[in-house]
Amino acid sequence: MGRAQRGGDHRGSVRVGRGRVAKLAALAALVIPLTTGCSVDEVIRFGWPVGVTPQAEAMRQLWTWSAIAALVVGAITWGAMFWAIAFHRKRKGDDDTPPRQTQYNLPIEIVFTVIPTIIVAVLFGFTVNVQNYVTAHLPNPDVRVNITAFQWNWRFDYPDARAANGQPITTQGTSETIPLLVLPTDRSIQFTQHSTDVIHSFFVPEFLFKRDVFPYPQQNDQDNVWRIDRIDREGAFVGRCAELCGAYHAMMNFEVRALSPALYDRWVTLREQVNPTTGALYTAGEALGALNCGQLCTPQAYTTYPFNTDRTKRSASEPVTAGS
């Protein structure tokens, strides 16, 4: 067998080997996502949590398409890199003559400048569009809630609903009680927030959105009004303070209880009345319990619970009251 024939056989086997590797890589790229037990929706979320508001879904879509764009750019970059490694490496018998140099190739430099600029501009445009939607105000919201943060708890006022004493319906947390923020599904909700002391942050993970709560928001040039178009499903969602605000910051939790519009209207009606059993106004927990709608109407929070403020204790305490 001649040297030329042996060389040709060697190059042919190398090409076959590369073809097998490419096929295996493509097969792995198809099989691995299908064998992880994840749905297509879970895969394209790329780890983004599942939200319960249209604003959360808009941010999820921005994240998904940004990740896909990044993967496309990455695939092109990796492909070009591995192609150069595979087909332009130095081979046995090559001399030391450098390859053709293109560092001063004007068309290539223009392409490498224009394409990244277009990518950044497109991402910027979509980001601004989603941000404007998330932070936009509603002219006539169905429900209004005033949020007051203080060290280390929350108060929620419903200015459009009046209790028997003529004051707005109010829910306030204590060291022993997690405050319940009861909201309707399928209705637009406007929040107005402020702090009585330091900067806090209102955060419900399922809203995929947090908002700093400033003291004196007008003087601090903060737009303290925001809204959600609706909550898409019933449920209980833990809320937290997401800004370090002092010794008991980690204990500053609340719970969003999303009810159907009919249940929410009944809850508001009860909150406007006096509880005949106690002779006092219905609390948030008492009104929920009177609705008798299963776990969703549990009188106390069940996604989180109060913490013992005694610093000598190292464990959390279970709920002991029916909510405020």
pLDDT of residue 46: 74
Residue showing tokens 């997690």:
178
Find, among 219, 237, 218, the residue nearest to 228 by Cα: 237
Angle of helix 261-271 relative to helix 284-291, nearest 10 degrees? 130
C-beta of residue 72 within 8 angstroms of C-beta of residue 82: no
195: how many CB neighbours lie within 10 A of its CB? 24
pTM (2 decimals)? 0.76
Cα 64 to the center of its chain, rounded Å = 12
pLDDT of residue 153: 93
Residue 46 burial (CB < 10 Å; 0-12/13-18/19+)?
middle
Give exposure, 74-112, as e/b (b: 16+ Cβ within 10 Å): eeeeeeeeeeeeeeeeeeeeeeeeeeeeeeeeeeeeeee
CA distances 132 to 60, 135, 226, Å, are 15, 5, 11
| Token pair for 181 | 């923020």
Q: Can you tell me the distance from the alpha carbon of 24 to that of 18, in angstroms, rounded to the nearest whole number?
A: 10
pLDDT of residue 84: 83
Q: Can you tell me the distance from the alpha carbon of 18 to that of 269, in angstroms, rounded to the nearest whole number?
A: 73
CA distances 234 to 229, 238, 258, 261, 262, Å, are 15, 13, 5, 10, 12
| Token pair for 253 | 């939790």
Phi and psi at residue 47, in whole multiples of 5°?
Answer: 85, -5
pLDDT of residue 311: 62
Q: Can you tell me the distance from the alpha carbon of 61 to that of 55, in angstroms, rounded to the nearest whole number?
A: 10
Q: Can you tell me the distance from the alpha carbon of 268 to that of 143, in angstroms, rounded to the nearest whole number?
A: 11
Q: Per residue of the chain (324 residues), what is the pLDDT tens digit?
A: 544 454 455 455 545 555 665 666 666 555 555 555 556 667 776 777 888 999 999 999 999 999 888 999 899 889 988 888 888 777 777 777 777 776 777 888 888 889 889 999 999 999 999 999 998 888 899 999 999 999 889 999 999 999 888 899 999 998 888 999 999 999 999 999 999 999 999 999 999 888 999 999 988 888 999 999 999 999 999 999 999 988 888 889 999 999 999 999 999 999 999 999 988 999 999 999 999 888 999 999 998 888 766 666 655 455 444 444
